[in-house]
Structure 1
C-alpha cells in the first residue's frame, strides 16, 4: 500500500509579506513537487491556508479582519480565487484536484467522521489530490479548528497518514524564536516520548496574516505523532525539501511517530471530539485506567469542571493536574456532581433512576501515552 502524505502550507508561505498577494513562484514549485510525488506512487493531501489573505488582497483590505462575519465573507471571496490558482497550475501538469472544506463539527459527529474518511479514500484511490481548508464561511467561533496546523494533524489522523509536513516560514523548530533570540538552538529530532520534556519558548503569534505560530505546530505535531504519523516542520519556500526528507535527508525538525492504532473509534475520540469539561481522578482510578485497562467508575472521581451533557467528551485529569486521557461521559456534569466518589450500586438510589455502572466505558476511553 502506498504511503499517504499530508502537506500543510501556511499563509506566510503562500503570500508575499509586502502586498498579501499570492507568491506564485512558491505555489508553482509546491504544485510541481506534489504532482511528482503523486506520479511516484504517493497518495497526497494538501491542507492550504490563504483564503482570508487572498480575499483581503482582492478587496484591497490592508488589515486582517477581527470581526468573524467580515472574515467569513472575505474568506468566501478568497477561497474561490485560491482554488482556481491551484486548479490552473495542477491542470497544466495533468493532475486532478478536489476541494474539501471542513468544520470541526464534521469531525465531531461519528457518521460525518466516517463519511469524510470514505471521501478522502475514494479521492486518493482515483489519483486525485484533495485540497483542504477550514470552511471559514460557515464555521462558528466555538467550533473552529482555530488554525490549519491543527486541521492538518486531524486530517492526517483521520486518513491514517504516514507523514505530515508543516511548511512554515522558518527552517525548523528552535529553542526560541531565532528572529528575537540570536542564541536560539535548532532542534533536529524530537522523539514522541520527549514531548513533555521539550524546552521551547514559543508564542502564539505567527506572521501578520497567519493565525498560528510555532505553538500551534507543536500542538499539531503532538496530535499527529500520537496518531502514528511522522511529522516534519520545514521551510515552505522550499517545497522540494519534501522528497529529499522522504529519501532520508535530515532537513527541518522531525517528530517521530508513536505506533499506529488500528482502532478508528479511538482515533475519533482522541482527535475528533472537542472536550466540554474535565473530570479529576484519584490515584486509584488513574492506575485502574492507565495500567489495568478498566472503565471509569464514579468512586474514583474527586472533582468536576465545566458543564457538559451525557455523551459529550471530557478530559481526564490526575491529582497533579495532568491530562491523562479523554472519553465520552455517560452522565452529565450535574449527575456526576451527585455521584462522584460513590459506589456504582448506589447510583440509582442517589439519582432516583437507574443508570449505567460506568461513568466512561473503556471502549469510549483513550489514555494518553
Structure 2
C-alpha cells in the first residue's frame, strides 16, 4: 500500500528540500547532464506552481571544475585541487541552475555554506533568516557546500547531511535525496540480488543502521547509504520526513509521485528549534561520560548533575556543545555545558552543594541544563 506521503505532495508538504548528487548532475566526462536536469527543473516548476516551496541542495561543483582545469582524480587528489575545482565549477553550476529555472519563470539564488556556518548558532540563525526571506520572495535557493574554502575540519563531507541541516534551518517539512539507488534495501542491491526495498521506516534503530554501507556507487560523490541514514536521523529528529529515491530516471519526482520506488523515513515528534539545532550538530568539543543513574534521569527529562558524571573528556569552554555519553560509549544527549573542561573535571561525581568549595565560588548547580540539552 502506497504511503500517503509518497511523492511528498504539495498539499501535505509545504516546504521541500531536494538534494541532487554529483553522479546525477555530471556525466563521467565532466559535462552537466543538461537534458536530465531540465526534466528535474520541470518537476520543481510544477511543484512551485502548486504552492510548494522548494530548496535545492546541489552537488557537482568539484566534478565540473576538475574537468575544466584538467585535474586528476576528479579534482579530489588533494585539498588544494578540490578547492580550486570547486571555485571554478561553482560558477558553471550556478549558471546552469539559474538558466534552467529562468526558462520556467523561476528566480534562483545561490547560497554557499560551510559546516561552521550551521554549527555556529548565530550564523545558523542568519542562514535560516536568509532562506526564509528568499522563499517569501518566491525564489528557489540553490545551496552547496563552500568547498573552495572548506577544509577537513570544517566540512560536511557529503551533501546528504548538508541537505538535512538545510532542511532543519529552513524548517522544511521534508527532504528528498535523489540518489543512484531507489531507496533503502535490506542489503546492498548492487551485490545482493535478494535485497528488498523498505518503503517506510518509522524508527532508525540498530537493524536499520546495519543495512547501510558506506560506498558511493558512482565513485564521483562522497556519500553512501551511511551518510543518507545519518541525514535521515538529522531530518527526522528536526520534524521533517526524508526520502531516498532514484534520480537515474527523467523527471524523478514525478516518477516517484506516480508510483515509483522510494523509501520514506518518517519524522519524529518535533523538538524545539534550539534543541533541534543541538541534536543535528555534526561537531562537538567534548564528551561527558555519565553513569547509569544519570542516564535514567536524563531519559526522564532531568538536567545533568555533576554527581552523575563518571569523567570528562576533551577541552571546552562554558557554553560549548558537548556529547553526553554512557560508559559503553553510546551518545545519548547533546547540550551546552555550564562549565569549562577543567572545572567540569573537578566537580565530576560530586554533589551540587560541594561545587562552591571545590571551585571557590558557586556557579550553576547543574552541568548541563535540560533546557539546553537534546536527547539523540
Question: Does residue 23 in structure 1 map to residue 28 in structure 2?
Answer: no
Look up the match of 2:329.
321
Q: Distance in 1 between matches of 2:257 and 2:367?
A: 44
CA shift for structure 1 position 254:
1.1
| Superposed counterparts of 1:149-228, under 5 Å | 149-191=160-202, 193-198=203-208, 199-228=210-239
Instruction: Answer yes or no: is the 8 Å Cα contact 2:214–2:227 preserved in 1.
Output: no
Sort the Cα spacing of 1:277 and 1:239 in 2 relative to 1 into closer, same or farther, 3 A: farther
Q: Which residue of 1 aligns with 2:19?
A: 8
> Please, which of 347, 351, 354 is the counterpart of residue 346 of structure 1?
354
104, 120, 137: which one aligns with 1:126: 137
Q: TM-score, normalised by structure 2?
A: 0.91
Give secondary structure in 2 for the equivalent of 1:6.
Answer: strand
Counterparts of 1:105 and 1:339, CA distance in 2: 30
- The alpha-carbon distance between structure 1 residues 14 and 140, as it changes in their structure 2 partners (threshold 3 A), is same
Q: 1:363 aligns with which of 349, 355, 371?
A: 371
Distance 2:344 2:216 in 1: 38
Q: Contact 2:188/2:195 (CA < 8 Å) preserved in 1?
A: yes
Name the residue aligned to 1:265. Answer: 274
Q: Which runs of 5+ in 1 are unaligned?
A: none
Q: How far does the alpha carbon of each residue in 1:270-289 deviate from its partner, in whole angstroms, 9 at most, with x for none?
A: 22462122111112211221
Query: For 1:157 and 1:45, how far apart are their aligned partners in 2?
Result: 12
Structure 1 residues 164, 151: CA separation in 2 closer, same or farther (over 3 Å shift)? Answer: same
Give the match for residue 88 of structure 1.
99
1:66-94 superposed Cα distances (whole Å, 9 cap, x missing partner) = 32122111100000001101111111111
Q: Is 1:37–1:243's contact at 8 Å kept on the other side of the alignment?
A: no
Q: Following TM superposition, by how much is the alpha carbon of 1:28 offset from its aligned partner in structure 2, in angstroms?
A: 0.9
TM-score under structure 1 length normalisation:
0.93
The whole-number CA distance in structure 2 between the counterparts of 1:132 and 1:80 is 13
Query: What's the CA shift string for 1:304-333, capped at 9, x where partnerless?
Result: 222222211111112343211110111222
CA RMSD for the aligned pairs? 1.8
Divergent runs of 4+, >3 A: 243-247
Q: 2:194 & 2:351 partners in 1: Cα distance?
A: 56
Displacement after TM superposition at 1:32 (Å): 1.1
Distance change in 2, residues 1:250/1:29 (3 Å):
closer
The CA deviation at 1:144 is 0.8
Q: Judge conservation of contact 1:6–1:164 (CA < 8 Å) in 2.
A: yes
1:136 paired residue number: 147
Corresponding residue for residue 8 of structure 2: none
Cα pair 2:145 2:162 within 8 Å, conserved? yes
- Give me the whole-angstrom Cα distance separating, in 2, the residues matched to 1:241 and 1:9: 11
Question: CA-to-partner distance for each residue in 1:32-68, whole Å, 9 max, x for gaps?
Answer: 1111111110000000000000001112224132321
Unaligned runs of 5+ in 2: 1-10
Change (3 A) 1:321 1:272: closer
SS at structure 2 position matched to 1:138: coil
Q: How does 1:232-271 map to 2 (within 5 A)?
A: 232-238=243-249, 240-243=251-254, 245=256, 249=259, 251-261=261-271, 263-271=272-280
Partner in structure 1 of residue 42 of structure 2:
32
